[in-house]
Amino acid sequence: MRHRVRGRKLGRTTAHRKALFRNQLTALFTHERIITTVAKAKELRPIAERMVTLARTGTLPARRRVLTMVPDKIVVRRLFDEIAPRFMDRNGGYTRIVRLGNRRGDGAELALIEFVDYVPSAKGEGGGEKKASLMDRARGMFGGRKDGAPEGPAETETVEVAEEEPAGEIAAEAAEAAPADEPARETKPKRTRKRATKKAKAPAEEATPEASTAQAASESEEPAAAEAEETSEKE
């Protein structure tokens, strides 16, 4: 029997579970609200409230004990200076858990854990857009409107499309923009390297069949002329 055994193991070892709670406490004291599963939120709530109770004392030993769970000194300073003084007249019950429904991926039940006096910071008062709060994003995750506005027909955005100019007008404008002194350059087709090498290897003058026959006839006439000259000299 599981006597005096309380708490959820959350499928983690002891070291992993403590590291999880440290990260969640740091995020909770930084943003004052986080989204997690219901099981983790129920395990985190008593730890977070114990840290706030220690911060209410404001003593150095309490600060050192909180630092063992929240290793960030800036977050601990914020807890002691800003969060804890808001609950001086409240004996426990500093946080609340709000169920958000099942997660789309694995169907786990999600919950929002936040401080009871949490007020979203109004950003964008100087003309900028107001940043969506964590609760609004959580509602948008499950199909609700993010801005809380009533559902209505979606606004259609009109986009002006510039008319395309014909190619002839563009060419005329380019010709006008070009300087008049420069003559138009004629584009010549580039010869490939393969063709150039072939032309270099080819003979300068290719022999035709008629030229070859004429050359053969002239060669045969030369010995006959030489014999005629010799006979004339003897006579």
Ranges of residues in the chain whose predicted pLDDT is under 50: 124-127, 146, 148-162, 204-205
Edge-to-edge strands, sheet with 95-102? 33-37, 109-115, 95-102
pLDDT of residue 189: 59
- The pLDDT, as a whole number, for residue 136 is 73
- Give the pLDDT score at 124: 45
CA distances from 10 to 13, 36, 117, 198, 211 (A): 9, 13, 29, 79, 102
CB 54 within 8 A of CB 83: no
Three-state SS at 232: helix
DSSP secondary structure letter of residue 64 = H
> Model pTM greater than 0.85?
no
- Fill in the amino acid letter for 131: K
Architecture of the 14-120+132-141 domain: Alpha-Beta Complex (3.90)
In the chain, domain spans: 14-120+132-141
Are 115 and 32 in contact by the 8 Å Cβ rule? The answer is yes
What integer pLDDT is reported at residue 28 of this predicted model? 94
For residue 44, give Cα distances in angstroms to 62, 69, 91, 162: 19, 12, 18, 58
125-172 residue pLDDT tens: 444 556 666 667 776 666 655 454 444 444 444 444 445 555 555 555
